[in-house]
Structure 1
Amino acid sequence: MLKKFIFSLSLNVCGAFCYALAINCFLLPSHLGEGGVTGLMTIFYYWLKLPPSLTNLCLNGLLLFIGWKLLDKRTVFYTLVAVGSISVCLRLTALWHFKLHDPLVAAISGGVLMGLAMAIIIKGHGTIAGSTILAKIVNKFLGIKTGSALLFFDLLVAVPSFVVIGFENMLLTVIELYISAYVLNKMLEVFVVKRSFMIISDKSAQIACALAKLNQTGITLLEATGYVSQKPKKVIYCICEAKDTVKLMRKIEELDPQAFVVLEDVRSAYGFELAKLL
């Protein structure tokens, strides 16, 4: 339990550092904006010269009241860690400007780093607050991908920002937001998405036993009947981590090369006690 706690804390701090680098090294030097609270933070920096670290704390502190009621307390706690770490890292890297001649390169680099940072923080059970809290709420209740929901809320701030940063930089900001949302979705697929197997084989007992040992989770055997043959069949159903897919596929092929296998992505899987019973 302590190891998981320390690991999650480390992920939030690491993600916060990457997030601060994206802002200070790529976005601010090229006069680019952002979405959500970070977008407001950059606008206040360009317009009023307010320190991003201070703006980040104040605006996200207000939005955390929303998250306190609608998100679980663990997420809120790690969000506090992430927001505090971002403010500290923004302060520490305030002079780390990386001026690029082509602002499009800055938009692409900042977008990739921003998406990576948010994925690391979400993997650590936190958020960067702001529009990320709204995106997590939408994902929880409507099932829309976190990155896609985040892009929508970010555009609500990014598009009007052309008044401060100019039309061309606003378009570059939209490109940066799209890239960060794309990277976030892809990273979350690697971190979060599980895979489900449905296997029909004459060696179902052997395969089920082997998969249970490899996957360290329960295996479900479903009763079925072949429509053409009218013979009873045992259908194996199991859920695994995405990283274990190749290992399980090799074992299935080794035991029965003729097995019929259906492999699908699973957006969510809940119920630890149920998983042990399967």
Structure 2
Amino acid sequence: MRREIIFKNGLGIVVGALIYAVAINDFLIPHQIGEGGVTGLTALGYYTLAIPPAITNLVLNGLLIAVGYRYLERQTIGYSIWAILWISLFLRLPHIVHYQTTQTLIPAVIGGVLMGIAMATIIHCQGTIAGSTILAKIVNRYLGIPNGSAMLFFDLIVAIPSGVIIGFQNMLLTIIELYLSAVVLNKLLAKFGAKRAVTIISNQYATIATTLSEQFNQGITLIKAQGYYRQKAQPMLYVICTAKQLATLVPVVSQIDEKALVVVEEVRSVQAAQLKQLL
């Protein structure tokens, strides 16, 4: 099972790296649109000194990987190195989509959407593209700020001053592209990686807990509580699950106790090495 997960994540990162490279090579650089973070510095290096993007990407991201090594899990660092290698490789390939237009807003929009999809794919597969995603991952882990919002902040630090080189209009297009990529990234991560906190109040809590544990292999916390009106002890069950698990979990609870009170809340961030053991 472990090897299957590693293979699946590794393949997903390769796909994300390809989409990322297409966004840069075929939509952003040909139309003089900048980027944020390391990618922005990579584009500026190409515009001003003609430094190949693959080289700049590899060198600068290597330095940020060293920073992330102290704060992030070793697995994340390993997947990030894998992502950087493939991005650097794909950036050296010829153009895949030969697209030229004088309507520069179009490549900015398409590039932003593709960048958001690429980063969401890589982050969903437990990796990063280094650069601002390393910093965003650290901020998300310790402060709970969404990855896309944190990335947008760090990217703008590079994107806004880039107007001196790429011009005011292209700087505005860069900001539009960064905003779109952040929105797409947040939306996709919320959809695919969202967690739900479920509180269940029922007189048949023991049966519900046993059933959920057996059917879903899901950790469950039993919280001792007391009703105010009757002053009667009423234990509650607390479960962290995915949106997909929730769709099945609620009907199971209703089958056991149709009068059970089920409260569902969205969870911004869950940090635990072994969630089942903690619950």
Identity %: 50
Q: Is the 1:75–1:127 contact (alpha carbons within 8 Å) kept by the matching residues of 2?
A: yes
TM-superposed CA distance for 1:142, in Å, is: 2.5
Name the aligned partner's letter for residue 169 of structure 1.
N
Task: Give the corresponding residue for 2:92.
Answer: 91
In 2, Cα distance between the equivalents of 1:225 and 1:141?
A: 33
1:67-104: CA deviations, max 9, x gaps? 23332322222211111100111112446332244322
In 2, Cα distance between the equivalents of 1:206 and 1:224?
A: 18
Task: Give the corresponding residue for 1:186.
Answer: 187
Task: Give the corresponding residue for 1:245.
Answer: 246
In 2, Cα distance between the equivalents of 1:181 and 1:220?
A: 35
Listed as ranges, the matches of 1:25-174 within 5 Å are: 25-94=26-95, 96-174=97-175
How many residues align structurally? 277
Unaligned runs of 5+ residues in structure 1 are none
Q: Which runs of 4+ in 1 moved over 4 A?
A: none
Name the aligned partner's letter for residue 180 of structure 1.
S
Q: Is the 2:22–2:96 contact (alpha carbons within 8 Å) kept by the matching residues of 1?
A: no
Scaled by the length of structure 2, the TM-score of the pair is 0.91
TM-superposed CA distance for 1:212, in Å, is: 2.1
**What SS does the aligned partner of 1:232 have?**
coil
Name the aligned partner's letter for residue 137 of structure 2.
K
Q: Per the alignment, do residues 197 and 17 of structure 1 end up closer, same or farther by CA in structure 2, a change over 3 Å counting?
A: same
1:140-191: CA deviations, max 9, x gaps? 2322222111111100010011112211111111111111112112222233
Q: Per the alignment, do residues 26 and 232 of structure 1 end up closer, same or farther by CA in structure 2, a change over 3 Å counting?
A: same
Task: Give the corresponding residue for 2:220.
Answer: 219
Larger displacement relative to structure 2 (251-260 or 237-246): 251-260
TM-superposed CA distance for 1:42, in Å, is: 1.1
In 1, Cα distance between the equivalents of 2:94 and 2:124?
A: 24
TM-superposed CA distance for 1:43, in Å, is: 1.3
Q: CA RMSD in A?
A: 1.9
Name the aligned partner's letter for residue 260 of structure 1.
L
TM-superposed CA distance for 1:125, in Å, is: 2.0
TM-superposed CA distance for 1:271, in Å, is: 4.5
**What SS does the aligned partner of 1:28 have?**
helix
**What SS does the aligned partner of 2:145 have?**
coil
Unaligned runs of 5+ residues in structure 2 are none
In 1, Cα distance between the equivalents of 2:172 and 2:278?
A: 52
- The reply on whether 1:270 has 2:272 as its aligned counterpart is yes
Q: Per the alignment, do residues 106 and 254 of structure 1 end up closer, same or farther by CA in structure 2, a change over 3 Å counting?
A: farther
Q: Is the 1:21–1:93 contact (alpha carbons within 8 Å) kept by the matching residues of 2?
A: no
In 1, Cα distance between the equivalents of 2:220 and 2:134?
A: 35
Q: Is the 2:222–2:238 contact (alpha carbons within 8 Å) kept by the matching residues of 1?
A: yes
In 1, Cα distance between the equivalents of 2:101 and 2:255?
A: 53
